[in-house]
Amino acid sequence: MIKQQLARFNRLELLGGPTPFEKLERLSTWAGRDIYAKRDDITPLAMGGNKLRKLEYLAADALAQGCDTLITAGAIQSNHVRQTAALAARLGLGCVALLENPIATDDSNYLGNGNRLLLDLFDTKVELV
């Protein structure tokens, strides 16, 4: 039923299929039952993550409307912002990221490395809010 509802919307195929489940052997042994992890970390864009599923729909809608820039918002180290910026770069679109510092830190590693550094590599326009 949900597939029929989602079929009403434009979708840009980014995942290439479902991500696998992997049995966590040691945790399963410890817990006395089978425990699995969904391997969304191996999706094919910007170091993986489950955010790509919603971006399939958001990006398709933006392209259908003729948009030339994706705008996103989140924390400085946001995985969603990172994946949006990577997708914009892949599609040849601009990207604007409105970033907040929710932990109010001035730590240079938090402010300039990790996902924040990748935004610069994806040529994302960053605005601190």
108 annotated active-site:
no
Is residue 71 situated within a structural domain? yes
Is residue 29 situated within a structural domain? yes
Q: Which listed residue (19, 43, 72, 78) is catalytic?
A: 78
Is residue 36 situated within a structural domain? yes
Q: Which domain holds residue 52?
A: 10-128
CA 18 to chain centre: 16
Residue by residue, pLDDT tens for the chain (129 residues) are 888 898 899 999 998 888 999 999 999 999 999 999 999 888 888 888 888 999 999 999 999 999 999 999 999 999 999 999 999 999 999 999 999 999 999 999 999 999 999 999 999 999 999
Which CATH number characterizes residue 30's domain?
3.40.50.1100
